[in-house]
Amino acid sequence: MGLIWDGLTEALRLIFTGDSYVYEITLLSLTVSGAATGIALVIGLSVASFLAFSAPPGRTLALSAFNAGMALPPVAVGLLVAVMLWRTGPLGQLHILYTPTAIIIAQAVIATPVVTALSAAGLQSLPPGLRLQVLALGASRWQAALLLFREARLSLLAAGIAGFGAAISEVGATIMVGGNIKGSTRTLTSAIVLEVQQGDFETAMALSFILLAVIFAVVLAFTVIQQRRSAS
Amino acid sequence: MTEAILGLRDVVVERAGRQILEVDSLDVYPRDVLAVVGPNGAGKSTLLRVMALLERPAQGQVLFDGQPVRHHLLAYRRRMAVVFQEPLLLDTTVEANVRSGLSLRGVARPERDRRVRLWLERFGIAGLAGRSVRTLSGGEAQRTSLARALVLEPQVLLLDEPFAALDAPTRQELIDDLDRLLPELEMATVFVTHDRAEALRLGDRLAVLLGGRIRQIGAPGAIFAAPADEEVAAFVGTETIARGRIRSVDSGLVTVDVAGRDVEAAGAGEPGADVLVCLRPEDIVLVPPDEAAKMTSARNRLPAVVRRVVPAGAHVRVELDAGFAIVALITKQSLEDLNLAPGSRAVVSFKAVAVHLIPHRPASPPS
């Protein structure tokens, strides 16, 4: 209990004294995971719309794959992305291994199946004739997509929250492709692992509280939007 | 001669290799209400989706203003409006729903607001404008859906069983509203329903769709009086429906001129108005000509000639010509007592309250 309490007070001290190291890694975590979630949303919503509305052959198989993808082991993803980005790998020319960009790619790979599977479920649960009704109202394909996203906003925001959660809480892939380099690729999660390895449990606990607070703040913002829209 | 606004030519729709709709030719005209009737599964909704350019037929063409529609489907779709059986409203307010089609078309705000207000009022839902659609009753939701379609002032209005999910009083109110509004508008209307009474009430023309094919199309009276084939007859029933014109109205009693005969009906109407005179076969009593004078209770006594006698289970269906076709359903005992056979004479007798008058705008097939 003492460790948890010490961690909490240390977290508050770090936040309120404006510790530059903590602010830096928190900002990087938010930027990287925000970008990864954004990519996951663009890909996930496109694929989910296609699967839900165009009913292509093999839809069940594809949805099963994305559902399974929600349980994708981050370490395996990290290894795969790292191999691709190695200097001798197929994407080695890009020279982005051990950069925030590499972390964004790895986290996007982890978050995309989550966003896709949950979005597809949300879009499929819309009334069956709604898409035709929206087109009959005179919507172009883009307008129809936006209107239907709006109708499924509760599920889609939930998909976004889950995707962001998967990205920001991820550590295995982040370390593998980012390298946990101080001032460059160190995020909240990789910093926690490092502090634990160094035996500084109090700082690790403090960073954990900060991570939880960051996740809670972002999810709270999403949820407020979600609930306000649904109430109106 | 009015040009058809929307037409189908040699349209075939297939589902899983099976042909579910085949329409050689079908046209709708401005100010024309075409009622498409048929049982469930006849292909009515598919027909409507093809007309609405929401489904591409496997073969054939959709014509708009006489020109085949090949590209720019969105532009054509924006000249039409569709109301489905389920209101399928967007999860927002009544007003935002009614506004939605205009917003999608980029109609400027002052014009948009003016039309939204107008149509909210016309459908009696102005008081619900700010309400979430989640709080609406079935009738209110369908009114919103109709207002959302009509606010677009489309050239073609397509209605897919819009009243089927409503309770009887609400359905009646909405039919009354549409019956009042449609004649004021320039658009062509296609109204799909399985309910014959609804079709008769709103349709200028009737098309009977059975098994994916239009089996008969024409004035409602003509179809009910002379079904093209047995299946159409079975679907539309063999009730007597005759066109007439109200000659006079006097204290609740309407006198209708039907093919030169006077038919008296309990009800209301305007002299000169065209009506359909509807009679249920079981409300008709047949009496021998020499006993007819003794009958005093029934207002209507028309001399007629028996054309056919058809057994119908425990009863017998007697088809007569009283200047217009009348069908009576009597017991076998009555048939024997009356000694009726084709060619024999009888007096067709029915009460004024047994006559049902349906307001009917004369069909004006423009060709």
H/E run at residue B276: strand B274-279
β-pairing, B188-193 vs B156-160, is parallel
Two tokens at B323? 């200047």
- Identify residue B291 by its one-letter amino acid code: E
B141: pLDDT confidence band, cut at 50, 70 and 90? very high
CB B220 within 8 A of CB B203: yes
- Residue B278: pLDDT band by 50, 70, 90 thresholds? confident
Residue B222 has pLDDT above 90, yes or no: no
Interface touch A143/B132, C-beta < 8 Å: no
A72 to chain B, minimum CA–CA distance in Å?
Answer: 35
* CB–CB contact A151 B91 (8 Å): yes
pLDDT single digits (tens) B248-261: 999 889 999 999 99
Compute the C-alpha angle B186/B178/B114, nearest 5°. Answer: 65
CA-closest candidate to residue B158, choices A138, A201, A125, A196? A138
> In 10 A of CB B65, how many CB atoms?
13
d(CA B161, CA B85): 5
- Yes or no, beta carbons of A132 and B49 under 8 Å apart: yes
Q: What is the pLDDT of residue B228?
A: 65
Question: What is the rounded distance in angstroms from the CA atom of residue A96 to the CA atom of residue A101?
Answer: 6
Output the pLDDT for position B354: 80
Q: Is residue B1 pLDDT above 70, yes or no?
A: no
Q: Between β-strands B33-37 and B188-193, what pairing exists: parallel, antiparallel or unpaired?
A: parallel
Beta-bridge partner residues of B262: B257
Mean pLDDT of B132-156: 95
Report the C-alpha gap between B301 and A186 in whole angstroms: 100
Q: What is the arrangement of strands in the sheet containing B300-312, beginning at the earlier edge strand? A: B285-287, B345-350, B300-312, B315-321, B325-331
Residue of B358, B203, B136 lying closest to B146 (CA atoms) = B136
Query: Which residues in chain B are contacts of A134 at CB distance < 8 A?
Result: 90
- Give A176: exposed, middle or buried? Use CB within 10 Å, 0-12, 13-18, 19+: buried
Over residues B355-364, the pLDDT tens digits come to 877 776 655 5
Cα separation of A14 and A8, whole Å? 10
Amino acid B223: pLDDT: 78
Best of B46, B50, B90, B116 to disrupt the A interface (most A CBs within 10 Å) is B90
Pick the residue of A53, A123, A133, A155 with the most B CBs within 10 A to test the interface with B by mutation: A133
CB contact under 8 A, A133 and B82: yes
Specify which residues B265 forms β-bridges with.
B254
Angle between helices A20-54 and A201-231 (to 10 degrees): 40
With CB atoms and an 8 Å threshold, state whether B54 touches A132: yes
Contact B86 A151 (CB under 8 A): no
How crowded is residue A94: how many other Cβ atoms within 10 Å of its Cβ? Answer: 14
Give residue A131's identity as a one-letter amino acid code.
Answer: R
User: Average pLDDT over chain A, rounded to whole?
Assistant: 92
From the list A129, A137, A232, the residue facing B101 with the nearest CB is A137
Residue B123 has pLDDT above 90, yes or no: yes
Q: B181: phi > 0 → left, psi -120 to 50 → alpha, else beta; which?
A: alpha
Those residues whose C-beta lies under 8 Å from the C-beta of residue A62, and which sit 6 or more positions away, are A51, A56
Q: Do A133 and B84 touch (CB under 8 A)?
A: yes
Residue B348 pLDDT: 93
Closest residue in chain B to residue A141, using alpha carbons only: B74
CA B154 – CA B8 distance, rounded (Å): 18
**pLDDT, position A18:** 86
Q: What are phi and psi of B270, to 5 degrees?
A: -110, 135
Contacts of B102 (CB under 8 A, 6+ apart): B111, B112, B115, B116, B151, B152
From CA B77, how far away is CA B74, in angstroms rounded?
5
Q: Sorting pLDDT into bands at 50, 70 and 90, what band is B200?
A: confident
Residue of higher predicted confidence among B201 and A29: A29
Q: What is the DSSP string of chain A?
A: -HHHHHHHHHHHHHHHTT-HHHHHHHHHHHHHHHHHHHHHHHHHHHHHHHHHHH--TTHHHHHHHHHHHTT--HHHHHHHHHHHHSTTSTTGGG--TTSHHHHHHHHHHHHHHHHHHHHHHHHHTS-TTHHHHHHHTT--HHHHHHHHHHHTHHHHHHHHHHHHHHHHT--HHHHHHH---TTTT--HHHHHHHHHHTT-HHHHHHHHHHHHHHHHHHHHHHHHHHHHHHH-
User: Quick one: tokens of A200?
Assistant: 């500084």
B72-97 in b/e form (b: 16+ CB < 10 A) is: eeeebbbbbbbbbbbbbbbbbbbbbb
CA B28 to each of CA A102, A109, B21, B364: distance values in angstroms, whole numbers, following the listed order:
61, 53, 18, 11
Neighbours of B111 (CB within 10 A): 10
pLDDT of residue A102: 96
Please report, rounded to a whole number, the percentage of residues in chain A having pLDDT higher than 90.
81
How far apart, in whole angstroms, are the C-alpha atoms of residue B43 and residue B305? 40
pLDDT range class, residue B210, cuts 50, 70, 90: very high
Chain B residues with a Cβ under 8 Å from any Cβ in chain A: 49, 52, 54, 74, 77-78, 80-82, 84, 86, 88, 90-92, 100-101, 104-105, 132, 148, 152, 158
Tens digits of residue pLDDT in A41-66: 999 999 999 999 988 899 999 999 99
> A129 vs B86: CB contact, 8 Å cut-off?
yes
For residues A16 and A112, which has the higher predicted lDDT (pLDDT)?
A: A112
Q: Which of A42, A34, A111 is nearest to A77 (CA)?
A: A111
Q: Are B34 and B200 in contact (CB under 8 A)?
A: no
3-state secondary structure B130-197: CCEHHHCCHHHHHHHHHHHHHCCCCCEEEEECCCCCCCHHHHHHHHHHHHHHHHHCCCEEEEEECCHH
Q: Which residue of B has its CA nearest to A126?
A: B88
Distance CA A152, CA A159 (A): 11
Chain B nearest-CA residue for A148: B90
First to last CA, chain B: 6
- The size of the A-B interface in CB pairs under 8 A is 47
Under the banding of pLDDT at 50, 70 and 90, the label for residue A230 is low
Tokens of A27: 């900002």
Q: What's the rounded mean pLDDT across residues B124-151?
A: 95
For the cut 50, the answer to whether the pLDDT of residue B367 exceeds it is no
Q: How far is A203 from chain B (nearest CA, A)?
A: 47
Check CB contact under 8 Å for A137 and B132: no
* Nearest C-alpha in B relative to A231: B132
Res. B237: pLDDT tops 70: no
Select the more confidently predicted residue: B173 or B228.
B173
Rounded to the nearest angstrom, the gap between the alpha carbon of residue B193 and the centroid of all alpha carbons in its chain is 8
Judge whether A27 and A211 are in contact, CB under 8 Å. no
Is residue A69 within 8 Å of A114, Cβ to Cβ?
A: yes
The model's pTM? 0.76
Cβ within 8 Å of residue A153, ≥6 positions away: A226, A229, A230
In this complex, do B104 and A132 lie within 8 Å of one another by their Cβ atoms?
no
User: Testing the interface with A: which of B45, B88, B133, B150 to mutate, by most A Cβ within 10 A?
Assistant: B88
CB contacts of A132 in chain B (<8 Å) are 49, 54, 84
- Residue B319: per-residue pLDDT: 93
pLDDT, tens digit, 9 for 90 and up, residues A141-175: 999 999 999 999 999 999 999 999 999 999 999 99
Q: How far is CA B315 from the centre of its chain?
A: 29
Residue to mutate among A126, A137, A146, A153, with most B CBs inside 10 A, is A137
Percentage of the residues of chain B whose pLDDT score is greater than 90: 65
Where would I find the H helices in chain B?
A: 44-51, 73-77, 94-104, 109-122, 138-150, 168-181, 196-202, 220-225, 230-236, 332-338
CA distance B120 to chain A (A): 17
Q: Does residue B296 surpass a pLDDT of 60?
A: no
Q: Which of A133, A140, A150 sits opposite B74 (nearest CB)?
A: A140
